[in-house]
């Protein structure tokens, strides 16, 4: 960053000198020579400073203690071509390797190679894998406080939701406690989720009645049940077969999930409702974490925060591209009109109020968290 700053200083100095020479028509050759000399001196000074900064940065990195070389396996239940692995986790792994001078290598084990989806977190806690990535919603009852960010009809983008989630995590010990069995490195959400069906187009709440719908989070399961559907839970990799065999009539899933799990052939309708986002985590086994040097730990923490935001942006980019691809693939998209959407929001509000009451009964300051969430997300509404 300091290198870029000094390059900017040199450029500004050069442009200022050029502007001055153009504005003065009777500049003598002597003045021109002096300006050239001044410019050369500024460039030389900037180059010297840049070299000094590079040397200082290199020296500081060399003085840090990253310990012995270590290879960490990172298991997750998704395909290796999932955009989060390709566009966010792989750059994260490369950054960690570079910042630790090649000491830490992260290897990926996708597709549930180390644990089935519902056991990803538990397997990381137990040490069956050093690192794990999945959705909190895959682990029933383990992350009830994190459901604050999964309340229905709350966010307009993954980036907004991720910024809000981290702020809540930093402020509320009740949220931090849910990750006390691991070292938390990343927290983020996927893009906005909508309703997708195979044979029945959902235009009103009544159209949900009698449908068997896969729910992505416990909260959305309650919302769909309140609308008259029968909701069933399952990891995303099982959705395609469940649609093709008629086990489910449809589902709620992030728009990006259509591409990640190639659901286009099994879906005919989409209902745009901006229903929800779902939280995701990147965690490390505590014994593995404690075996690393403090300098290595700091690199991982810093890179994890950066990765979280990169993951949310990846999802938002996917939302824009895949929304159009869904139409191109023949899925008919219906946008709920304001009056019908208001009815859905009323159902969502009822579910949220019930969640707040339940959490308050457990001693969690859920109302305070929810109110704070409204303030934080408004700060990131742009």
Residues 95-130 pLDDT 10s: 999 999 999 999 999 999 999 999 999 999 999 999
Contacting residues for 130 by C-beta, under 8 A, at least 6 apart:
72, 73, 74, 124, 284, 285, 288
Q: What is the pLDDT of residue 32?
A: 45
- Average pLDDT of adjacent 10-residue blocks, the chain of 382 residues: 35 34 38 46 53 51 88 96 93 98 98 95 98 94 97 97 98 98 98 97 97 94 96 91 97 94 97 96 98 98 97 94 96 97 98 98 98 97 73
**What is the rounded distance in angstroms from the CA atom of residue 102 to the CA atom of residue 340?**
55
Task: Kindly list the distances between the CA atom of residue 366 and the CA atoms of 156, 165, 266, 382, in Å, as whole numbers in the listed order.
Answer: 22, 14, 39, 26
* pTM > 0.95: no
Residue 15, pLDDT score: 34
Spell 150-173 as b/e; 16+ CB within 10 A means b. bbbbbbebbbbbbbbbbbbbeebe
Give pLDDT, residue 7: 35
Q: What is the pLDDT of residue 237?
A: 86
């Amino acid at each position: 960053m300091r290198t870029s700053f000094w390059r900017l200083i040199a450029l500004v100095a050069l442009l200022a000198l050029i502007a001055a020479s153009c504005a003065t028509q009777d500049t003598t050759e002597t003045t021109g020579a002096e300006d050239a000399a001044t410019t050369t001196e500024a460039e030389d000074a900037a180059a010297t400073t840049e070299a000094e900064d590079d040397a200082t940065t290199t020296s500081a990195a060399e003085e840090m203690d990253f310990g012995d070389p270590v290879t960490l396996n990172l298991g997750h239940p998704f395909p290796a071509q999932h955009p989060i692995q390709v566009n966010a986790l792989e750059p994260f792994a490369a950054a960690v390797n570079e910042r630790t001078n090649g000491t830490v290598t992260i290897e990926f084990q996708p597709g549930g190679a180390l644990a089935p989806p519902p056991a990803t977190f538990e397997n990381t806690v137990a040490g069956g894998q050093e690192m794990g990535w999945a959705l909190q919603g895959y682990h029933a009852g383990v992350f009830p406080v994190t459901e604050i960010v999964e309340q229905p009809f709350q966010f307009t983008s993954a980036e907004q939701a991720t910024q809000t989630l981290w702020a809540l995590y930093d402020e509320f010990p009740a949220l931090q406690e849910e990750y006390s069995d691991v070292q938390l490195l990343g927290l983020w959400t996927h893009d906005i989720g909508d309703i997708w069906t195979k044979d029945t187009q959902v235009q009103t709440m009544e159209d949900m009645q009698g449908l068997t719908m896969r729910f992505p989070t416990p909260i959305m399961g309650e919302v769909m049940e309140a609308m008259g559907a029968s909701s069933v839970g399952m990891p995303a990799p099982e959705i395609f077969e469940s649609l093709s065999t008629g086990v489910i009539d449809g589902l709620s899933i992030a728009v990006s999930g259509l591409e990640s799990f190639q659901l286009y052939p099994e879906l005919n309708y989409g209902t745009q409702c901006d229903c929800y986002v779902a939280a995701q985590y990147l965690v490390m086994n505590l014994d593995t974490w404690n075996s690393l040097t403090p300098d290595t730990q700091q690199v991982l923490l810093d890179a994890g925060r950066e990765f979280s935001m990169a993951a949310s942006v990846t999802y938002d980019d996917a939302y824009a591209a895949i929304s159009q691809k869904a139409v191109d693939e023949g899925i008919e998209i219906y946008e709920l009109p304001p009056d019908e959407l208001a009815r859905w929001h009323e159902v969502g509000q009822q579910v949220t109020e019930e969640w707040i009451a339940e959490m308050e009964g457990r001693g969690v300051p859920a109302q305070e968290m929810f109110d704070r969430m409204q303030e934080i997300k408004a700060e990131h509404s742009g």
